[in-house]
Amino acid sequence: MPLLPIVKYPNDILRRKAQDVTVFDDKLQQLIDDMFETMRKAPGVGLAAPQVNVPLRLTVIEYGEQEDDSDEPVKLQQYVLINPEITRFSPETEVAAEGCLSMPGLVGDVERSLSVTVRAQNRRGQPVKLKAEGWLARIFQHEIDHLNGVMYVDKADNLRSLDEDAETDAN
């Protein structure tokens, strides 16, 4: 499975609204597999199709959280969101540092809803409804923004280089 080149800001495709996926064929399955591989290699926790120069409403996410008091390795969960729509944003929000594979070396503080409900289709085109909280909810919001031409820097405060952030973390 080939790795796909990741489009970097300010490429125009990152600013365009992506189109609905209507055909769930072998080509789409291959694209999804290639996007997972590209995301893992980057490495990242989410990747939207416009970031690999494909103007479709499709995003892949791989994320897991360590259970408290557990020595078990983190169980990663894969999500494929096709034609996703956030149907509920919690009024409760949280500010945290975010980065983006299309803007390497930068982070910024973004306020996001603590939980969201997403309606989407899976890789076979079947309807799914997902509820996410915390970091997963943040990733969903970041990736779905990409499908609407929105970058996290539009919403971020205190944009800074990763090096500075590392120093901040160390304090």
- The catalytically annotated residue of 92, 94, 143, 164 is 143
Q: Shortest Cβ distance from residue 11 to Zn ion (Å)?
A: 12
Q: Shortest Cβ distance from residue 153 to Zn ion (Å)?
A: 10
Residue of 97, 83, 101 lying closest to 45 (CA atoms) = 101
Q: What gap in Å lies between CA 33 and CA 31, rounded to an integer?
A: 5
Per 3-state DSSP, the chain is made up of helix, strand and coil in percentages (nearest 5) of 30, 35, 35
Considering the complex, state which of residue 32 and residue 101 has its C-beta at the smaller distance from Zn ion. Answer: 101
52 binding Zn ion? (CB under 5 A): no
37 part of the active site: no
Closest CB to Zn ion: residue number: 100
100 binding Zn ion? (CB under 5 A): yes
DSSP 8-state class, residue 15:
G
Stretch that binds Zn ion, among 6-14, 100-108, 127-135, 155-163 (CB under 5 A): 100-108
Q: What gap in Å lies between CA 39 and CA 62, rounded to an integer?
A: 9
The torsion angles phi and psi of 126, rounded to 5 degrees, stand at -80, 145
Catalytic site positions: 143
Q: For binding to Zn ion (CB under 5 A), which residues are involved?
A: 100
